Amino acid sequence: MEGNIITRLGTTIARDAGGDALFRAAIIRLAAGGLPTASELATDLQWPVERVASLLDGLPSIERDDRGRIVGAGLTTRETQHSFEIDGRKLFTWCALDALIFPIVIGSTARVSSPCAATAAPVTLEVTPDAVRSVEPEAAVVSIAIAGNASCDVRRAFCDHVHFFASEAAAAEWRRRYPDGAVMPIADAFVLARSLAAHVFAAPTRGCCGS
């Protein structure tokens, strides 16, 4: 299951085209309180700005404001059900697994709060780059599924199906709706998050995608 998710998610965010590196660079800028531009990301990645602009145009999930600045790339300034507080800043994530992955990618501890997708009961946790702490309720789980028609729209293909639930029992109806998906304890989801951080959101090799 883990290897399949890593492979399919990597494809979904256009790994071969550099989408994974672009998402990572944007996430780091957003976590620091910035609203990155194509030019800033080009500088960070040492890519031609034209390449970054073209790649952004091909990633339908990316959120931008009316000035063209990125306001959301997995981590977002726009409110979602997944609250993500880091270094005194309140941001949000597109899905439950994002909230587990991004502290690893960013290298900072986050406080996460999200309603159970079935009961609306609060699920709260503290996520460090190395572990998950203070999970409440302790029986909370994460749902994982990737749409069969996965494309570069990572939010629609993946994030829209990845939620926190207060317990396995609370996720029972979701399981019935997504028989090919999985429901896993927070600790197991964090193991998956570490693998995704290493294989999908790893720091890019310098100049690997330049032209």
* Catalytic site residue from 44, 116, 159, 209: 159
Is 130 assigned a catalytic role? no
**3 state SS of 31:** helix
- Separation CA 168–CA 171 (nearest Å): 5
Question: Are the C-beta atoms of 185 and 167 separated by less than 8 Å?
Answer: no
- Tell me phi and psi for residue 186, to 5 degrees: -55, -40
Is 116 assigned a catalytic role? no
Question: Are the C-beta atoms of 181 and 171 separated by less than 8 Å?
Answer: no
* Catalytic site residue from 98, 116, 153, 209: 98
Closest CA to 194 of 141, 107, 130, 138: 130
CA distances from 165 to 22, 140, 180, 193 (A): 30, 6, 17, 17
Is 208 assigned a catalytic role? no
* Catalytic site residue from 44, 95, 153, 209: 95
**Long-range CB contacts for residues 159-162, cutoff 8 Å, separation at least 24:** 159/61, 159/74, 159/94, 159/95, 159/98, 160/95, 161/95, 162/95, 162/96, 162/97, 162/98
Closest CA to 205 of 47, 48, 75: 47
Q: What amino acid positions are annotated as catalytic residues?
A: 95, 98, 159
